[in-house]
Structure formats: structure tokens, C-alpha cells
């Protein structure tokens, strides 16, 4: 019997099988990632499309009715004053907020798909809002609701903060070089000044503009149209022309070209005497917006105190270089003893033959305080702007442990003290993050305990720069946080209580007053109900520092 030859059959080795499995896994991962990316882009595109279409329908409704609808979900047949807006797919319209009491009326609207949220408001494009990681109990983001104004919106609680300010105010946007009106009970909102995504809100204290007739085409005090050219022997009064200014149509333009007879002349205007308003020891800040061109001339603002004989006993000169863009020029002076006259002057010095001055001024203001705040227009009387009070609920906050992150521009004058947030406590003071301008270049951050005593050591960071900052606390220890770095632990007292509301950008209410206003930009405030680990602090900082 012959035995047959066995044939050689090929087969996969274990190594080859493993290689195939790995390759398949890699391809699958690439496919999943690519699909996820495409899916996310599709969701973002659909949300933006829905909001753009909704905006068109809202604007058409406004054209027909001169107001925005009361509600947008009155479907399928809306009653008078309402509208039926339908989103596509699994998108949902949320947080529609009309305000028909302003002039012109405004609205804001959000659209969401799972955790992806976009918002839109008057004159704005759809903007994405990304929640912070690690499940915060509150995530307040500065959000526009109109042209350069709006409010803080909580991505967790899906609600706006309560803003209380019964008077209008303004905000200056360096990007557009214009001043914008901010209606009562809204915050001033600008794009982030560091160029990153998102917006920032400026929360200010109450101030008064003591310079009457700072707004208008003409007035009795001589604030406008009183430019004087002189060399002590020859005086003329050129009539300035009215041009479109930074605030409405109230800019005053002065033009002059030196002639052969000119030698060391100067052009200036001087405010009325202000001594009926300010007394010895008052800190006075004057400000005005300026743009234009000069040749061969020194330009400056002078805030000057005189004695009874009109001799100078105190002066602050702020020299500036005129440019095509609006710039705000400010001067600050402490009123010295013996002052009987006080004026502010815009001066163009040493005009000789061939020199040229073409200056436009606008939005003049004189106020008490060491820094200039938003412009407050006045006519025949002084005008006071109320403080910004931003109240937020402390729902699910933890008085015994927590971590809070803020994002904003730290731009403070030396000696200024501000609080990012505060929570009233039973001892009559508040838990708060405090920022203090230790010098012209350094900011110190500290956490305040329930007894109102600052916790040391303090974190130090740079002034005039954007930062993430905040605090960490438990019942026995606390620390300040700056750009993801937690400072050293120090002992603190246990918090005895937590009120129903906290305040962004100010200390708690005491009688009719709020204290320690932030007076600088705040973009975001994120709250966690536990003391996060150092690695989690870094993770949250990296996730939120570049915008929502």
C-alpha cells in the first residue's frame, strides 16, 4: 500500500494575526475620530444655521411690529405678539430673552444640541459656549444681548444673572474706536481684550460726571466751542466745526495752521472753575477722548489747582501723541490745601509758523476717584451713574469646601482693591477673592475667610494682563490660585453660613452701599463644590483660559 504525500498548507501565525488586529484597530480608531469630528462640525453648522434663520425671522417680526415677540415657541399657530420658531433635527432653541423696553429693543437666543450651545443676539454672529470640565455647579460667562452690552449667563443653571443699575452707561471698544450705549440693568460687554474667544464684562462702581454740558453741540458754560489761541498779545476765537464723534454727533473739531506772525502761540480750551464741587484732599480724575493730527506741536491735558491769586499750586500734565484713532487721555490730581480754583485744559503748545493742529475732542468727564470710569454724558447739570450690582444664586455651592476660577483683565491702579466675587456671611463680612494692585506691575490675590480677614500668603501675578485666578478652600485651609498654580495653604475659619446669592465683581451689600468694585474686565466665573486637586486645577485652567 502506497502512502500519499501530505500537501503543505499556509496559515496565519499568531504574530501575523496580532498585526492584522492592531491595524484593524488603528483604522477603526481613525474612522471613529474622523466620524466624531465630522459629526461635531455638522452639529455646529446646523446650530449656527438655525440661529441665523431664527435671527432673520426675529428681525422680520420686529420690522412688522416694532418689538420682538414675547415668546418663540407658540406653535403651531402663534397668537398676537408671539412667534413659532422651529429648530432642525435634534437641535433645541433655549433661553430666548427679549427686551422691548430699551431703544432700540433687543433679544438674545440660544440653541443647543446635547452639550453644544451657541448663542446669538442683535447685530452678532452665533457664538459657541463651551462648559467647563469636571461638573461645576455654576459656570457664568459674559454674553452679549445687544450691541456691546449683555449679562452673565450660567451654562449649568441655564439662567442670566440679575443686573441692577437704574441708569444707562457707556463702554469704549478699542477695536472699533467707538463708545457704545449700555441700557439700564445691563452690563457693558466687549470682545476679550487679549484677543481670545468670548466676551468680557466691566462691572463698575457709582460715579458722577461733574463737568456740566459735556454732551451737546453748544452750551452756556463754554465747554464746547471755547478754543482760545493766544501768545499773550493776540487773541482769536476760531469756530470749531461739529463732526461725528465717538459718542453720537458731539465731537468738536479744532483746526489751525501757523502763519508767519506766530511765535510760541498755544491753542487751548479750559473748563469752568470746579472748586464748588471739590475740596482739599479730593482725588480728581479728568478724561476726554481725542483724535487728530499735529505737526510741530506738543499736546497735553492739564488738571490744575490754583490759589486765590490764580497761581498754580498743583498740576498734573498728561502728554499724548495725537493719532487718527480715538484715544482716552486722563489726568489725576489730589486737590492741595489752599486751592480756590480748579480747571482742566486741553492744550497744544508752541505753535510757530508752519505748524499745524487738527484735533477733535469728545466725551469729556471729571469725576472723583483715582481712575477714569465709563463716560457719563451731562447737559446742564451733573449726572450720576449707579453702580453695577451683579447678583447670582449660590444653589449647590458648598460653604465647607470649594474652588472658584475667574478669568479677566487685571488692570488696576496702585493701591486699588477689588473683589471678583463675594458671598455674605453671618459675621458681617464676606468670603471673597480679592485682587490688590501692589505696584504698577504687580497684583496680589488673596482669599477672604468668613471673618473678613485676608488669608496669607498671597499669590502675586502681573498687572495689566489677562489671567485665570481664583481660590480654593476647605473648613480648615485656603489658598489663592493664579494661572493654574495654587498658593501655599493657610488655616482659615470654617464658614458658618452661605447666603442665597453671591455677587460678581463686588463685595456684599451693606446698607445702601457696595464696596470694592472690580472696575476691570471679567470674562468668566466657574464654581466647583469641592476643593479640587492641583492636577484638576491645571486641567480646568487649560480648558477655560482661551475662552468658551
Residue-wise pLDDT tens digits, 173-193: 888 888 888 989 999 999 888
- Could you tell me which residue, 10 or 332, shows the higher pLDDT? 332
pLDDT for residue 225 is more than 80: no
Phi and psi torsions of 192, nearest 5°: -55, 135
Worst-scoring range by mean pLDDT, 32-36, 74-78, 168-172, 271-275? 32-36
Average pLDDT over residues 396-404: 85
CA torsion angle 284 181 164 101 (round to 10): 150
Per-residue pLDDT, 427: 45
Of 92-106, 151-165, 212-226, 244-258, the one with minimum mean pLDDT is 212-226
Domain architecture of the chain: domains with CATH:
228-383 (2.60.120.260), 389-544 (2.60.120.200)
**Above 50 in pLDDT, residue 371?**
yes
Q: Enumerate the β-bridge partners of residue 513.
A: 510
pLDDT value at position 507?
60
Closest CA to 471 of 463, 479, 483: 479
pLDDT digits (tens, 9 = 90+) for 456-476: 556 788 888 899 988 888 877
**Residue 200 scores a pLDDT above 90:** yes
pLDDT value of position 512: 44
pLDDT of amino acid 532:
95
Grid coordinates in use for 488?
501655599
If you average pLDDT over residues 418-432, what whole number do you get? 55
pLDDT computed for residue 535 by the predictor = 96
Buried/exposed code over 521-546 (b: 16+ C-beta within 10 A; e: otherwise): bbbbbbbbbbbbeeeebebbbeebbe
Confirm if 267 and 351 have CB atoms less than 8 A apart.
yes
User: Could you tell me the pLDDT band of residue 385, with boundaries at 50, 70 and 90?
Assistant: very high
Contact 449, 490 (CB under 8 A): no
- Selection from 153-162, 225-234, 503-512 with the highest mean pLDDT: 153-162
Give the model confidence (pLDDT) of 473-531 as tens digits.
887 787 888 899 988 877 665 556 677 788 888 765 554 444 567 788 899 999 999 99
* pLDDT score recorded for residue 487: 83
Distance CA 319, CA 514 (A): 35
CB 376 within 8 A of CB 217: no
Q: What is the pLDDT of residue 32?
A: 62
Higher pLDDT, 98 or 536: 536
Full strand arrangement of the beta sheet holding 283-295:
241-243, 251-257, 356-368, 283-295, 327-334
Q: Would you say residue 325 has pLDDT above 80?
A: yes
Collapse the DSSP code of 535 into the 3-class scheme (helix H, G, I; strand E, B; otherwise coil) and give the result: helix
Q: What is the DSSP string of 487-512?
A: ---EE-PPP----SEEEETS---BTT
Instruction: Find the mean pLDDT for residues 7-30.
Output: 72
| Predicted confidence (pLDDT) at residue 349 exceeds the cutoff of 70 | yes
**Quick check: 232 pLDDT over 50?**
no
Q: Of how many residues is the chain composed?
A: 548
Neighbours of 166 (CB within 10 A): 8
User: Is the model more confident about 437 or about 494?
Assistant: 437
Per-residue pLDDT reduced to its tens digit, 271-288: 778 877 898 999 999 999
Q: Higher-confidence residue: 497 or 57?
A: 57
- The pTM of the full predicted model, rounded to 2 decimals, is 0.79
Residue 396 in 3-state DSSP?
coil
pLDDT score recorded for residue 239: 54
**Which range, of 145-149, 163-167, 236-240, 527-531, averages the lowest pLDDT?**
236-240
Mean pLDDT of the chain: 81
Average pLDDT value for residue range 76-93: 91
Amino acid at each position: 500500500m502506497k502512502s500519499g504525500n501530505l500537501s503543505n498548507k499556509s496559515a496565519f501565525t499568531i504574530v501575523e494575526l496580532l498585526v492584522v488586529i492592531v491595524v484593524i484597530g488603528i483604522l477603526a480608531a481613525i474612522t471613529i475620530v474622523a466620524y466624531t469630528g465630522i459629526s461635531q462640525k455638522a452639529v455646529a453648522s446646523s446650530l449656527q444655521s438655525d440661529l441665523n434663520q431664527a435671527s432673520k425671522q426675529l428681525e422680520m417680526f420686529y420690522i412688522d411690529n416694532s418689538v420682538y415677540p414675547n415668546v418663540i415657541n407658540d406653535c403651531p399657530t402663534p397668537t398676537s405678539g408671539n412667534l413659532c420658531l422651529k429648530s432642525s433635527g435634534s437641535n433645541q432653541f433655549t433661553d430666548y430673552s427679549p427686551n422691548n423696553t430699551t431703544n432700540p429693543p433687543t433679544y438674545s437666543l440660544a440653541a443647543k444640541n446635547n452639550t453644544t450651545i451657541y448663542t446669538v443676539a442683535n447685530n452678532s454672529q452665533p457664538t459657541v459656549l463651551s462648559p467647563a470640565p469636571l461638573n461645576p455647579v455654576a459656570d457664568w460667562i459674559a454674553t452679549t444681548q445687544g450691541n456691546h452690552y449683555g449679562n452673565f449667563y450660567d451654562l449649568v443653571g441655564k439662567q442670566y444673572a440679575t443686573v441692577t443699575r437704574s441708569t444707562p452707561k457707556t463702554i469704549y471698544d478699542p477695536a472699533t474706536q467707538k463708545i457704545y450705549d449700555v441700557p439700564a440693568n445691563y452690563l457693558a460687554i466687549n470682545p476679550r481684550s487679549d484677543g481670545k474667544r468670548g466676551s468680557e464684562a466691566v462691572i463698575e462702581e457709582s460715579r458722577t460726571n461733574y463737568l456740566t454740558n459735556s454732551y451737546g453741540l453748544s452750551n452756556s458754560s463754554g465747554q464746547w466751542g471755547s478754543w482760545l489761541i493766544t501768545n499773550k498779545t493776540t487773541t482769536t476765537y476760531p469756530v470749531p466745526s461739529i463732526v461725528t464723534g465717538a459718542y453720537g454727533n458731539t465731537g468738536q473739531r479744532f483746526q489751525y495752521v501757523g502763519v508767519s506772525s506766530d511765535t510760541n502761540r498755544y491753542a487751548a480750551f479750559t473748563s469752568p472753575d470746579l472748586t464748588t464741587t471739590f475740596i482739599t484732599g479730593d482725588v480728581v480724575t479728568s478724561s476726554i477722548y481725542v483724535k487728530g493730527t499735529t505737526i510741530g506741536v506738543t499736546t497735553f491735558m492739564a488738571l490744575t489747582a490754583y490759589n486765590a491769586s490764580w497761581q498754580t499750586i498743583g498740576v498734573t500734565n498728561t502728554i499724548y501723541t495725537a493719532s487718527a484713532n480715538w484715544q482716552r487721555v486722563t489726568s489725576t490730581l489730589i486737590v492741595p490745601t489752599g486751592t480756590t480754583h480748579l480747571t482742566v485744559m486741553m492744550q497744544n503748545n508752541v505753535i510757530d509758523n508752519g505748524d499745524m493742529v487738527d484735533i477733535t475732542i469728545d466725551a469729556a468727564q471729571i469725576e472723583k476717584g483715582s481712575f477714569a470710569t465709563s463716560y457719563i454724558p451731562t447737559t446742564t447739570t451733573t449726572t450720576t451713574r449707579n453702580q453695577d450690582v451683579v447678583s447670582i444664586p449660590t444653589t449647590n455651592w458648598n460653604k465647607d469646601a470649594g474652588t472658584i476660577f475667574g478669568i479677566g483683565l487685571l488692570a488696576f491702579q496702585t493701591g486699588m482693591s477689588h473683589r471678583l466675587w463675594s458671598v455674605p456671611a453671618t459675621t458681617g463680612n464676606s468670603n471673597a477673592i480679592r485682587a490688590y494692585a501692589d505696584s504698577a506691575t504687580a497684583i496680589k490675590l488673596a482669599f477672604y475667610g468668613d471673618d473678613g480677614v485676608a488669608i496669607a500668603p498671597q499669590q502675586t501675578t502681573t498687572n495689566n494682563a489677562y489671567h485665570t485666578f481664583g481660590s480654593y478652600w476647605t473648613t480648615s485651609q485656603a489658598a489663592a490660585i493664579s494661572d493654574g498654580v495654587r498658593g501655599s495653604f493657610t488655616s482659615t475659619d470654617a464658614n458658618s453660613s452661605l447666603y442665597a446669592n453671591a455677587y460678581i465683581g463686588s463685595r456684599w451689600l451693606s446698607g445702601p452701599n457696595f464696596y470694592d468694585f472690580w472696575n476691570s474686565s471679567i470674562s468668566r466665573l466657574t464654581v466647583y463644590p469641592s476643593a479640587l486637586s492641583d492636577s484638576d486645577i491645571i486641567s480646568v485652567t487649560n480648558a477655560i483660559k482661551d475662552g468658551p
